[in-house]
Amino acid sequence: MKFFVDTAEIDQIRELNDLGMVDGVTTNPSLIAKSGRDIFEVTAEICALVQGPVSAEVVSLGADDMIAEGRKLAAIAPNIAVKVPLTWDGLRACKVLSDEGRMVNVTLCFSANQAILAAKAGATFISPFIGRLDDINIDGLQLIADIRQIYDNYGYETQILAASIRTANHMSECAKIGADVATAPASVIKAMASHVLTDKGLAGFMADIAKAGIRIL
């Protein structure tokens, strides 16, 4: 499973990228606003830093405007994936942009029916939102499983990009289900390294080292 980091903060991306933990980046208007930087400037810097796809989201609601914005965003760098919402206009924009050979990430997916439409419109990625479904007592991971089954049934090439990930457990569950990509905040990816027994074992080792006076350097 590929890891995308869901942020527009360059330092977070660089740290994970240096460890080989970044296969791509997802951004959205909220993350761009949080960074306090110009969308074109920060997106270009991210694209230069990572080799994989960088999702940059349109801000209009009409298909024609989404297409124009998508083309402008795609001109930033070859690894841009234009991000459009899963609306009828978004699907129209997805079809046009994907037919032009551009990567398209269809976002805000909350049902298997929506995922089918995105695949038929030529989406490169479909982004089902796990956490937001969990928030309203609907099993977000089950949606990932449903989309995986449907895509495998019919050979759709659209990649499942699990989004709205809140916990390290979400990451491993998505991997077991067969999501192609999981995008998460840097804090969630780093939390995957944590385990109480690792901490306990390390504390025991350090106590024994101190007691024995062991030194290597």
pLDDT tens, residue by residue, 77-121: 999 999 999 999 999 999 999 999 999 999 999 999 999 999 999
Selected catalytic residue, list 2, 34, 72, 83: 83
In whole angstroms, what is the distance from residue 212 CA to residue 208 CA?
A: 6
How far CA 92 is from CA of 13, 123, 154, in Å, comes to 32, 11, 22
What are φ and ψ of residue 39, in 5° steps?
-60, -40
Q: What is the mean pLDDT of residues 117-144?
A: 98
User: Is 83 marked active-site?
Assistant: yes
Question: Which burial class, exposed, middle or buried, applies to 211 when counting CB atoms under 10 A from its CB (0-12, 13-18, 19+)?
Answer: exposed
pLDDT tens, residue by residue, 34-45: 888 999 999 999
pLDDT reported for residue 208: 87
- Tell if the pTM clears 0.75, that is, is over it: yes
User: 19: pLDDT confidence band, cut at 50, 70 and 90?
Assistant: very high
pLDDT tens, residue by residue, 173-200: 999 999 999 999 999 999 999 999 999 9
Domain extent listing, the chain: 2-212
CA torsion 21-1-93-71 (nearest 10°) is 30
- Which tokens is 139 given? 């099993």
Q: What is the mean pLDDT of residues 52-78?
A: 98
Domain 2-212 has CATH 3.20.20.70: yes
In whole angstroms, what is the distance from residue 45 CA to residue 10 CA?
A: 8
Q: Which helix (H) or strand (E) holds 184?
A: strand 181-184
